[in-house]
Structure 1
Amino acid sequence: MAGFDYPTRMVVIRLSDGALFIWSPTALSHDLRSAVDLLGPVRHIVAPNTLHHKFVGDWQRAYPKAQTHAVPPLRKKRRDLTWGSDLEDTPPAAWSQDIDQVVVRGNGITTEVVFFHRLSGTTIFTDLIQHFDAGWFKGWRAVVARLDLLAEPEPTVPRKFRLAFYDRRSARAALRRIMAWPTKAVLAAHSEPVRRGGRAAINHAFGWLLR
C-alpha cells in the first residue's frame, strides 16, 4: 500500500450451527481454500469496513451459496459486487448467538464494524487499531509510520484515523458499547494479537477519544 509492506489478516469463526464466518477475506489460494473447507461450510463473507474488500469477489465466486455482508457505504464503492445484508449495530439472526457487533461511524476515512466473539471473549478491529514493530518499516517509511503512531509500544489508533473523526460523539457512543463487552483478547487486521488484557488494550488505544 503506497509502497509500504502492509500485511493483513483474516479471521475465520465457526458459528454454533457449524457454518463459517469469514471476516476480511484475504487472497484465496488453493492451500487456504483447502484449509478453510476442512473447517466447515462457508456461509458468511464479511467486509468489515470500506477499505477491506479487495478479495471479496474471489470468495463470492468460490462460495456462491455464501451471503456477503458489508457496511452500507461499500455498496456504492463496489457496484461490481453483489451484496447481501447491511452490517448494522444489531447482529443478524445468523450469528447473533455467537457474535455481537457495533458500527463505528463518523470517520472520514472509513466506516468500520467492530465484532465481539462471545465464546472466546475476542474483540475484532479492522483498521481502527494497528501496530507494527519499530523496525518493520525502513527509511522514510519508518518516519511516516512513527508519525502515524503505527510503531507505538502498544497497539493504538493511527493518527490519520484520529484526525478523521468528524463526529466524535457518535464514535464515543460506539466505543462505550465496545468497552462494555467482557473482552479478553483483541484481534486486528494490522497488529499482532493481544491475548490478555484486551479491555485494557482497547482503553489504551482509545483513551484520547473516551476522555
Structure 2
Amino acid sequence: MPSPEETLNGQSALNLYEPINLLKPVAPDVWIVDGPPIDFDLGLMRFPFSTRMTVLRLRNGDLALHSPVALTPALRSAVDVLGPVRFLIAPNSLHYWWVPDWKAAIPNAEVMAVRGLQKRAKRPIAVDRLLVGRHSPWPGEVDLLVVRGDVLTEAVLFHRATRTLILTDLIENFEPKRIHSWFLRLFVRLAGAADPDGKAPIDMRLSFFRRRRALRMAVQEMLAWHPERVIISHGRWYDKDGTAELRRAFRWVL
C-alpha cells in the first residue's frame, strides 16, 4: 500500500495553501503563515496535515508566534521586519515541533505552553511559562482560555482589537478538493472534519465525553466574545462570520 503522503503517480496527497512560508495579512497586527505539511501518525497510516502559524503584534511592538511553522531564513527575515519576536506559543501538545528551532535562533524569546507538553513532546523543549486558566500574558489585549480534554489540552486566544479567535485542533476543516487520495478524503469525511462542515474530529469529540459540561461553558465564553474571524491550524479558516461558524462547528456540544 503506498504511503498516504503520495498517490500512485508520485504526486503529493495534499495541496498546500501556497504560497507557503510567506506572511499573509489577516487584520491590523495579525498575520498567518501557511507552512509545509507534517505527517500525523494514526497507527496504521500517516495522515499529511497542512500547517499554519499565526503572528500577533502587541501594542508595544513585540511579536507572539502561535504554533510556529518550520523556520527558514527568508521567513525569519520577514518576521523580523514586523518587530522583535518575544513569545513562542505551543498551544497544545501536538503543536510544538518547531518551537525549539525558533528558540535556538531567538534565545531571548519566551516559550509558552500548556501543562504537560514537556512530558508528551517527542523532542526536548524548554518551557518558560505555562498557559493556564484565564491568565493571559497580555490581559489588556488578548484573552486566554485553556480548554482541557482527556487527550488534548488547548490554549485558545482571542485578539480583542480585531475580534480574531485563534484555535488549533478544536476545529479542523480540511477541504476535500485539496486531498488527492480518495481514501484520505473518505477518512476526513467520516471523521467529521471536512469543509464546509469542519469541526473537531470524532476521536477528539469522544475524548471530551467526561468534560462535556466544561467544554460547553468554554464554547459559550468564546461565543460571548463574538469573534469576527476564526483562525485554525488545519484546513480552510474562517475570514468572516466567525461567531456563526463557531456555533456550527460546536453544535455537537452546545
- Report the TM-score range of the alignment, normalised by the length of the smaller protein: over 0.9
Identity of aligned residues (%): 39
Give ranges in structure 1 of 5+ residues lacking alignment.
Answer: none
Q: Given the alignment, which residue of 205, 215, 234 partners 1:162?
A: 205
The residue that corresponds to 1:74 in the other structure is 117
In the alignment, residue 6 of structure 1 is paired with which amino acid?
Answer: F
Matches within 5 A, 1:166-181: 166-181=210-225
SS at match of 1:26: coil
TM-score, with length taken from structure 1: 0.93
The residue that corresponds to 1:113 in the other structure is 155
Contact 2:136 2:142 in 1 (8 A): no
Matches within 5 A, 1:85-100: 85-93=129-137, 95-100=138-143
Q: How many residues align?
A: 208
In the alignment, residue 173 of structure 1 is paired with which amino acid?
Answer: M
2: CA distance, partners of 1:144 / 1:66 = 38
The residue that corresponds to 1:65 in the other structure is 108
Contact 2:52 2:232 in 1 (8 A): yes
The residue that corresponds to 1:206 in the other structure is 250
2: CA distance, partners of 1:133 / 1:80 = 33
2: CA distance, partners of 1:112 / 1:29 = 26
> Which stretch shifts more, 181-190 or 132-141?
132-141
TM-score, with length taken from structure 2: 0.78
Q: Given the alignment, which residue of 13, 17, 30 partners 2:60?
A: 17
Give ranges in structure 2 of 5+ residues lacking alignment.
Answer: 1-38
SS at match of 1:208: coil
Deviation at 1:180, TM superposition (A): 1.0
Specify which structure has the higher proportion of strand: 2
Deviation at 1:6, TM superposition (A): 1.2
Write out the 4+ residue segments of structure 1 that deviate beyond 6 Å after TM superposition.
none
1: CA distance, partners of 2:111 / 2:139 = 16
Contact 2:88 2:109 in 1 (8 A): yes
> Which stretch shifts more, 81-90 or 11-20?
81-90
Cα distance change, pair 164–74 in 1 and its aligned pair in 2 (3 A): same
Contact 1:129 1:191 in 2 (8 A): no
RMSD (CA atoms): 1.5
2: CA distance, partners of 1:152 / 1:109 = 24
Matches within 5 A, 1:22-37: 22-37=65-80
The residue that corresponds to 1:104 in the other structure is 147
2: CA distance, partners of 1:122 / 1:55 = 23
Deviation at 1:178, TM superposition (A): 1.1
Q: Given the alignment, which residue of 40, 46, 58 partners 2:89?
A: 46
1: CA distance, partners of 2:70 / 2:101 = 8
Q: Given the alignment, which residue of 156, 169, 174 partners 1:127?
A: 169
SS at match of 1:123: strand
The residue that corresponds to 2:128 in the other structure is 84
SS at match of 2:169: strand
2: CA distance, partners of 1:135 / 1:88 = 37
More contact order relative to length (CA 8 Å, sep ≥ 6): 1
1: CA distance, partners of 2:194 / 2:177 = 8
> Which stretch shifts more, 55-64 or 143-152?
143-152
